[in-house]
Amino acid sequence: MGKIRNLTFRALPNGTLFPVEIAQYDPWVLREALHNCIAHQDYTLNGRINVVETTDSVLLTNVGSFLPGDVEKVIRQNAPLEIYRNPFLAEAMVHLNMIDTQGGGIKRMFLAQVRRFLPMPDYDLADPERVAVRVRGSILDERYTQLLMDRSDLDLQTVILLDKVQKRIKISKEGHKRLKAMKLVEGRYPNLFVAGGVAALTGHKARHIKYRGLDKQYYQDMILELIQAHGPVTRKDIDTLLMDKLPEILTEKQKKTRIHNLLYDSSLTVRKLLFCYFS
């Protein structure tokens, strides 16, 4: 692991002029991930354990299924595994202080990333015979990082939900309600982003508006002004006018659906003009 570059970058907490220096990786996290690969590798498959370094992350993989089945379940239980694929190897690694018989290593990896204000480890279990974990060593969303700096009171489950939001991973409706109640996110489910209050704290007001979008009346007034100024217009003209002004978080298809709804919900004046020009 000593060959992996571990650079240092700086982040500036709110209310201070002094930046915090953060190393890309916590050496313990990388070792724990590697030791898990060694202890839980299915050696009957004659596969390899791979460690791949990129500019902003380290990917570790081993062959064999993930016996607990679900990473978040492991974090919630925070208990030793009931089944070890390689019990004698695991026991030897315990005696060498490479792994902990009490379990909880994965949860501690996540907590270590929280303390360093960085994204959570990404576990990819899509292949039933392969486990891949990516440890990120860079900031994905500055608002997420700033939020962790400002809110040390957030529990791990809440941070995991926020991490999914910053990675554009769909969360459950229950998770959305939880974050919404804490005023940590905004947006229409499932297109969520950091809440306005947090954006204001972190100095991302303009970016927040780009994610949230503007008031419906603003868009309708633009459509009305276009029609009054240029006469007959097509739907393509309206799309051209509004596409780059709608929230950045939306896909092109979602933006077109939003425009359709704006036209359908427009005021009586706009609808009368549209009827005249489109009929």
Exposed, middle or buried, 68 (CB in 10 Å: 0-12/13-18/19+)?
middle
Structure confidence by residue, pLDDT tens digits, 255-274: 888 888 877 765 545 555 55
Question: In this predicted structure, what is the pLDDT of residue 199?
Answer: 47
User: What is the pLDDT, as a whole number, of residue 116?
Assistant: 92
pLDDT of residue 194: 65
Beta-sheet pairing, 50-53 with 57-63? antiparallel
| Class of 8-139 in CATH | alpha beta
Residue 193 CA to residue 182 CA, distance in Å, equals: 13
- The phi and psi torsions of 122 (rounded to 5 degrees) equal -105, 115
Secondary structure (3-state) at 48: coil
Q: What is the DSSP letter of 12?
A: -
Q: Which residues of the chain have pLDDT under 70?
A: 14-17, 100-103, 194-215, 249, 265-279
Q: According to the model, what pLDDT value does residue 268 have? A: 44
Sign of CA pseudo-dihedral 216, 219, 224, 225: positive
Report pTM: 0.71
What is residue 126's predicted lDDT score, i.e. its pLDDT?
94
Half-sphere exposure (CA, 13 Å, Cβ side) for 275? 8
Give residue limits of the domains in the chain.
8-139, 216-278
Tell me the angle at which helices 156-166 and 105-115 cross, rounded to the nearest 10 degrees: 70
Instruction: Give the CA distances from residue 272 to residues 147, 174, 227, 264, 275, in Å, rounded to whole numbers and listed in that order.
Output: 47, 42, 11, 11, 5
Buried b or exposed e, range 261-273, using 16+ CB within 10 angstroms: ebbeebeeebeeb
